[in-house]
Amino acid sequence: QLQLVESGGGLVQPGGSLRLSCAASGLTLDYYAIAWFRQAPGKEREGVSCVNSIGGTTNYADSVKGRFTISRDNAKHTVYLQMNSLKPEDTAVYYCAARLSYCSGYMAGYDYWGQGTQVTVSS
């Protein structure tokens, strides 16, 4: 089974940057689309970004376009989320999730989930 572990979260001031990592084990990452979701207090979990397996194309929520960049390094079994120009509204627990081949906008479409990493943007 594929196992996912997030890391890289923490406390950052508005305008700052963080890079989240999603490390995979158990199965090769090559065949999986990897998505980042986030859940803020009192909010529904929402999709942030995703990178496909086939073609390596990416997508982003409108709220993070131009600020966040998703990338994957299959040799290191890791997917990254570079977050720049962070805003207080980016505060959330960030989760990575995996499904075969293609990105999906629905949480139910993902078979594997990490435990999450907390990102707090505050002055």
pLDDT higher at 30 or 80: 80
Interacting residues of 75 by C-beta distance below 8 A, sequence separation 6+: none
Structure tokens at 43: 């909010």
Of the candidates 22, 74, 24, 29, the one whose C-alpha atom is nearest the C-alpha of residue 49 is: 22
- Mean of the pLDDT values across residues 78-91? 98
Interatomic CA distance for residues 12 and 92, integer angstroms: 12
State the average pLDDT for the chain.
Answer: 95
pLDDT, residue 72, reads 93
pLDDT digits (tens, 9 = 90+) for 35-77: 999 999 999 999 999 999 988 899 999 999 999 999 999 889 9
pLDDT digits (tens, 9 = 90+) for 14-42: 999 999 999 999 888 889 999 999 999 99
Question: Could you tell me what percent of the chain has a pLDDT over 90?
Answer: 88
Positive or negative, the Cα torsion across 88, 23, 35, 75?
positive
